[in-house]
Structure 1
Amino acid sequence: MALAGKVALVTGATRGIGKGIALQLATAGATVYITGRTLQSREGAPAPGSLNETEKEVENRGGRCIAVACDHSRDSDIDSLFDQINREQNGRLDILVNNAYSAVDAIMQNSGKPFWTLPPTFWDEVNNVGLRNHYICAVKASQMMVARKSGLIVNISSMGGLLYLFTPAYGVGKTACDRMAADCAIELKKQNVAFVSLWPGPVQTELVKKNILEPMRQNQDRAGQSDSNVAEHREQSRTTAVHRMFEQGETPEFAGKCIVALAQDAGLMKKTGRVLTTADLGQEYSLCDVDGRSYSGTRSLKYILQIVGWTKASEYVPSFIAIPKFVYNAYYGRF
C-alpha cells in the first residue's frame, strides 16, 4: 500500500469531501484520524453522515480509521485532538488535511443577500472553523512534522479565493486559506514540510445534492410547465448552467485520490506554497475518479462551452485546450 505506515488527520470528515479524502487515504494504507461534531447519526439531523459511519466504511474497505469527536470552534477540543494523536502515534503525523467547515447551510441560506444586511456574527460563522481553525491545526501539525523533518499540510479551498462566490465572507476566507499555504510554506520549506492549497472542482456532496441539485431539478420541472417572461428565462439559464456544472462535478473521493498522489510525489517540495486544482493534478498524475471519469477542469474550453450550453460547439474542441492561468490572473487581478 502506497501510504502504509503513514499517519493522517482529516478534519470535518463526517460527510462530503472530508469523508471522501479519508476513504482514499485509508485505502492507500494510512492510519487516518477523522474529526467532526457528529459522532453517531441521529434521526432528524439537518445533514446526513457521522464519524462512525465514515469509520465503518473505511473499515469495510480494509483501512484503519480513528474517529475523534471534535468541535473545531473550541480551542480546547483541538488541543485534545493533537494531544491524542501525539500520544498514540509517538509524535508522528505525516498528513494534515484542513477541511472542517461549519458554514455550508448558513451560506446557502444567505447567498444573494448583501453583506451589509447580515449580522457581523456571520463572519465568525463562516471563518471561525473555516479559517481560524485551519491556522491552529496547521501550527500544531507543523510542530509534529518539523520535529521529523517531513510532512504535508493541505488546506481545502476553492475558486472563491480568486473570484466572487456566494458572499464576501466566504471569498475572504478562501483567499486567506490560499495565502496561509503560501506564507507558511516559506517558513516550512527548509524543514522539508510542504503546505499547499487545493481547489476541488464542483463536487457532488450530500449537501450539494440536497441544497442545489434537487431544488434545481424541481425548479426546472416547474418552469417547463408554465410560460415565462424574459427575466425568468435569464434566471432559468443561469440556474441551468450551475446545474450542469454540478451534474458534471467530481465525486467527494477525487480530492482524496489527488492527495494520495501528492503524498507520494518525490517532487512534492517543488509544489509547496502553491494553489493546486484537482483537475490539474488529475491530469498530471493520470487519475480517474472512482466512477471512471476524468476531468479537464474549469480552465478547459470544452468544459466552459458545455456549462454555458454550447454542447454542439464543445464536441469540436479537444479537451486539452485550456485557458492559460495568466489569463485568469490578469482578468481577476487586483492591480
Structure 2
Amino acid sequence: MDHHPSLGGRIALVAGATRGAGRALAVELGRAGATVYVTGRTTRERTSEVGRDTETIEETAELVTAAGGEGIAVPTDHLDEEQVRALAERVDRERGRLDILVNDLWGGEHLLAGGSLFGRRAWETPLADGLRILELGVRSHLVTAALLLPLLIRSDAPLHVEVTDGTAAANRRYRDNLYYDLAKNAPIRIAFGLGEELADHDGTAVAVSPGWLRSEQMLAHFGVTEENWRDATAQEPHFGIAESPYYLARGVAALAADPERARRWNGRSTSSGELARVYDVRDVDGSRPDSWRYLEEVVHPGRPADPDAYR
C-alpha cells in the first residue's frame, strides 16, 4: 500500500500503548492523521509491574507526533476505575467525542514466567497468578469499554478494536493454560457482543491479533534487536515467521479508514495476515507474513521450519 490511509480529524485512544502492538497502533493512527491519546502504566517517573522502564507512554506520544499526528500521553491504570473515569472526562472536555477506541491492554507476560505456565494444569497454576492474568487481560478491557463507549457512540462512525492473541478460528485450539486461554478468548467475544450493540450507531467492533510479534520484550528474550532479529532463528528456527508490531498496526489503520469496515468486519475477529491481504499492506521489511497459517500447517504438525515460504 503506497498511500497512507486518511484519518485526519479523527480522535483515537489506544489503551495500553506503552510498547509492542499498542505503541505501533498509536503511531500508525497518528501517521494517518489522527489525534491519539496514548495510555498505560509506565511513564518516565514510574514503572509498571511488567518491570520494563525502557519504553514509556510519553515516548509513544512523541512518536505519534513525529509520525504526523498529535500524540497525548495520559498515565492510566485501566484496572483503576477512577483513573479511567478521569481519562474519559478529559477526552470529553478536550474533544467531546471519541472515534476510535483501541483496547490493547495486557501486561501479563511476567506472570507466564518464561512460558512455564503453558502446559500447566489449572490446579497446578498458582491461583493468584491465574486471577491476575484475568484482571489484566479481561477486567481491564471491560472497565475501559464501559467507561469510554459513551464517548465513542457520539462518533458518526464508531470503531472499537480489541487486540488479543489469536482469532476465533485459531483459538479453537486450547491455548495451553486455562487462564491464558480465557484471557485471550474474552476480547474476541467482547468484539462480537459490542458488534451487536454498536450496530445501532453505525459502529464497528472487531478483534485483531498479530502473529508472532517482535515486541521489545520478545526481542529482549532472544537477546536480539529489531536490526538483527533474524539471528534469533539460530535458537528458534520458527522465529523466522515473526512480524514487527507495525504490520498489524498498518492493517488496523487501513481498516479504520475503510468506509466499508462495518460490513466487512463488525463482530468478527481477524489477524495481521488477513488484514494485510485485504488492504494490501506489508511489514516494515516488505514481506507479508502469515503466522497463523504457518502455525497450523508447519508448527502444529511438527514439520521442519520453513518460514520464508509463509512471508
TM-score by length of 2: 0.84
Aligned-residue Cα RMSD (Å) equals 3.0
Q: Which deviates more, 299-308 or 251-260? A: 299-308
Q: 1:273 aligns with which of 261, 267, 275?
A: 267
What's the counterpart of residue 106 of structure 2? 101
Match of 2:125 in 1: 118
CA contact (8 A) 1:155 1:181 kept: yes
CA positional deviation for 1:242: 8.9
Deviation at 1:42, TM superposition (A): 7.2
Matched, 1:197 2:207: yes
Q: Does structure 1 retain, via aligned residues, the 8 Å contact 2:41–2:75?
A: yes
Amino acid at match of 2:154: A
What's the CA shift for 1:290? 2.1
Deviation, 1:210, is 2.1
1:298 alignment partner, SS class:
helix
Q: Which moved more, 1:112-121 or 1:294-303?
A: 294-303
CA contact (8 A) 1:202 1:245 kept: no
Letter in 2 for 1:250: E
Correspondent of 1:84 among 77, 86, 90 = 90
In structure 1, what is the Cα distance between the partners aligned to 2:258 and 2:305?
37
Match of 2:145 in 1: 138
The answer on 1:184 being equivalent to 2:211 is no
Please tell me whether Structure 1 or Structure 2 has the larger radius of gyration of its CA atoms.
1
- The corresponding residue for 2:20 is 16
Residue deviations 1:6-41 (CA, integer Å, cap 9, x gap): 011111111111111111111110000011111116
**Counterpart-to-counterpart distance in 1, 2:102 and 2:30:** 13
Residue pair 2:241, 2:291 contacting (<8 A) in 1 also: no
In 2 relative to 1, CA 128–241 (structure 1 residues): closer, same or farther, beyond 3 Å?
Answer: farther
Q: Secondary structure at the match of 1:153?
A: strand
- Runs of 4+ aligned residues of structure 1 deviating over 4 Å after TM superposition are 239-242, 300-303
| Cα distance between partner residues in 2 of 1:250 and 1:240 | 13
Question: Where does the alignment leave 5 or more consecutive residues of structure 1 unmatched?
Answer: 216-220, 222-238, 321-335
Structure 2 gaps of 5+ residues are 225-230
Q: SS state of the match for residue 236, structure 2?
A: helix
Alignment partners' CA distance in 1, 2:278 and 2:254: 10
Corresponding position of 1:129 = 136
TM-score, normalised to structure 1's length?
A: 0.78
Q: Structure 2 vs 1, CA of residues 184 and 241 (structure 1 numbering), >3 Å: closer, same or farther?
A: farther
CA shift for structure 1 position 104: 1.1
CA deviation profile, 1:276-309 (whole Å, cap 9, x unmatched):
1110110111101122221234225997389832
Q: How many residues align?
A: 292
Amino acid at match of 1:100: L
Q: 1:42 to 1:133 in 2, by over 3 A?
A: closer
**Aligned partners of 1:259 and 1:80: how far apart in 2?**
27
Cα gap change, 1:73/1:286 in structure 2, threshold over 3 Å: closer, same or farther? same
- Alpha-carbon distance between aligned partners in 1 of 2:244 and 2:287, rounded to the nearest angstrom: 10
